[in-house]
Amino acid sequence: MNCMIGMISSSFIERSKPGKYMKTVNWKVEGMTCSNCALTIHKYLEKEGMQDIKVSLASGDVSFGINGGDTTGQQIVKGIESLGYTVHDEQGGTTPSKKRFLPSHKQRFLFCLLFTAPLMLHMLDKWVHIHWLMNHWVQLGLCLPVFLVGMDYFGRSAIKSIRNGIPNMNVLVALGATAAFVYSFVGTIFNLGESFLFYETAASVITLVFLGNYLEDASIQSTQRALNKLAKSQKVMANMIAYHEGQENIFPVENTALRSGDLILIKNGEQVPADCKILTGEVTVNEAILTGESMPLHKKTKDTLIGGSLLIDGTARAQVMAEAKDSVLANIINLVKRAQSERPPVQQMADKISAIFVPIVLGIAAVTFIVNFIVLQNFTASLMRSIAVLVIACPCAMGLATPAAIAVGLGRAARNGILFRNAKSLELFRNIRQVVFDKTGTLTTGNFVVAGFELKAENMTKEEFKGIAASLEKYSNHPIAKSIAAEWKTKEDIRWQQIEEAKGQGMKATTKEGDIYQAGSYRVAMAHTRDDSHNVYILKNDQLLGWIDVKDEIRPEAIQIVQYLRHRNIRTILLSGDRQAKCVQLANFLGIDEVIAEKTPEEKLTVVEDLTLQGPTAMVGDGINDAPALAKATIGISLSEASQIAMQTADVVLMNQGIKNLPLSLGLGRHTFLTIKQNLFWAFFYNIIAIPVAAFGLLTPTFGALVMGLSDVVLAVNSVRLFVKKVT
């Protein structure tokens, strides 16, 4: 897990120029209503020279890299707010904008509803006859507050979007409501009669779109449920320890106030407030919030506790290792947010259409008015139909189709201990046809014990042989080497003049006297013996001293995972540097389709490259020697206890110990992509059907505004199904 801290943290500090580091800024931006809004912000940041820009329409998260040149955070905030959006800085470096009247969609909807409801009553004139509501001045008085609030929001946003060259959906709403209001106002001023009064249309369009925006916000917020749950667990109280005149004092502080090096006391039943190392005490901890694994873990002195996990038994005094903003949990949340902000290839077509959607709808509305006026010879009916076209069109449906599904897919994955480095990986999972497994530490636990050894050299004792092996292997990171070094640890280590590790072969060391020792696979000993059935061979000056046998434990979930993949018609391949006989034995036991053994890291890279050319391939590995192959695979999957370089090159990290969540990650990938396709189908189908229906006068602008508002809710609800949908 310590590797995880380094991996995630380093991914957010990127070198931009020699000698300079790029600062990553994370903000929350309110007011984005469609994909054009996100595109507007993206283009503005590009124009200002920002890098690595991520804008999430679903969550409102905006992140970018700034080099610290002439442009400051304050200038960027003012620039974004000049586009019509509100910035909330999560870094604390800028000031949020001035709070406006009726700041939320819910408040705007309720305010407008007070005036719109009486206006709508006169439409029930056949059943409820209210004389004073028929007065055009009363209707104007009821509509005016609604219109002003609507134009304060939709009008401002529309004007700013047009000024920036990317008109958004608020242009359609503002034009529709303004047309109805101005037409009615002219009728009122010149006393042209009831046939010119459509105040209820203007008011209802504004009110119902506010309702739709509120429902959309609530629905999209539900797609962030898993991530919000993680974020909520970040803020807890901590028991800080301080010493004064030799006296220990304990006082409560918020975990956000903790700094690296602070001492804290964590009691039974409390949440671990920050990443820390246990100084005294033994505890049982539940890390389910981070790994999805509810099985309690035993922790003792010098072990690491991860912020956000729950202490279910025991008490510990610990030292804080990282501030809240740099913790594993915080960086996991940032990683998921960044992945949510990415646009996978499937979204590109929808984005292109969304960028020209508003001008197209404006053109259709103009054509609708002209054609209907020519055919019907009725200005009022033609105007109402063109207004209906404006308000029923929904560009945000196309913009939300992908982000909503990705938000849920990534959120559910994070909740279950699966981290996707980017959204593209979710889409790629749908085509995976073969999965390549490394052996040691992936299909097996990597916990080795020495099963036996044989001494071949004369004039050497067993203790001397063990000392040589331990002295060589203690410098290796390979799990087999570590197990030998730990089991045969001695105080009389050989002091080497030089020692190096040749990947895929083993250790090679030289003493001051010039003697050369080697510990490695059969490759280093093949000139001295034909027996290739042993794990480690020890040589001195090119003479075989003996060999060592170790045994490894197969992961309990390995058989189930392999059988699941075979049931899904996904080909399984064991790719290892270990000997052919041992790999075949393991493959036969697990039911793996093909074995490719005795490969160096370079050869592994070539094998995976060839397999990827044959078809989309996932590679699961955990060692340093797996890193090149992980990078070359269609999708690289690493384990949380893997080496740091393996985790940095992987597209997906399984936080749980083991591979048991591999089926869930594959299933989430496939079903998230399926949900995206369903959402895009609905978005296009809705607009293709709704706009012609409105153009032919088959629905009123009021009903059109209601349907438009609900269209986004349909997408959000369909996306939220991913939380509970069976995907494996």
Provide DSSP, 472-495.
HHTT--SHHHHHHHHHT--SS---
DSSP strand E in 324-475: where? 418-420, 434-437, 449-455
Sheet containing strand 536-540, strands side by side? 449-455, 543-551, 536-540, 516-520, 506-510, 498-502
SS3 554: strand
Task: Tally Cβ neighbours within 10 Å of residue 202.
Answer: 30
List the catalytic residues. Answer: 438
Q: Return d(Cα 477, Cα 49) in angstroms, integer.
A: 43
Task: Tally Cβ neighbours within 10 Å of residue 19.
Answer: 6
SS3 297: strand
Task: Tally Cβ neighbours within 10 Å of residue 135.
Answer: 13
What is the radius of gyration, based on Cα positions, of the chain? 33
Q: Return d(Cα 271, Cα 311) in angstroms, integer.
A: 6
Tokens 């001023």 correspond to 189
Residues with Cβ within 8 Å of 266's Cβ and at least 6 positions away in sequence, in order, are 239, 272, 273, 276, 283, 305, 311, 315, 316, 317, 318
146's enclosing H/E stretch is: helix 136-150
* Cross-strand pairs, 319: 263, 277
Query: What b/e string do you get for 610-632 counting C-beta neighbours within 10 Å, with b at 16 or more?
Result: ebbeeebbbbbbbbbbbbbbbbb
Task: Tally Cβ neighbours within 10 Å of residue 372.
Answer: 21
Q: Return d(Cα 337, Cα 289) in angstroms, integer.
A: 17
247 burial type by CB count under 10 A (0-12 exposed, 13-18 middle, 19+ buried)? exposed
DSSP letter, residue 272? P
Structure tokens at 178: 């303004």
Structure tokens at 323: 């501030």
Q: Return d(Cα 79, Cα 690) in angstroms, integer.
A: 36
Q: Return d(Cα 62, Cα 561) in angstroms, integer.
A: 38
Among candidate residues 484, 516, 522, the one with its CA nearest the CA of residue 499: 516
End-to-end CA distance of the chain: 27
Structure tokens at 431: 């085509």
Helix H, strand E, coil C: the string for 61-124 is: EEEEEECCCCCCHHHHHHHHHHCCCEEEECCCCCCCCCCCCCCCHHHHHHHHHHHHHHHHHHHH
* Cross-strand pairs, 572: 435
Max CA separation in the chain (angstroms): 120
Residues with Cβ within 8 Å of 362's Cβ and at least 6 positions away in sequence, in order, are 167, 171, 172, 175, 390
25's enclosing H/E stretch is: strand 20-30
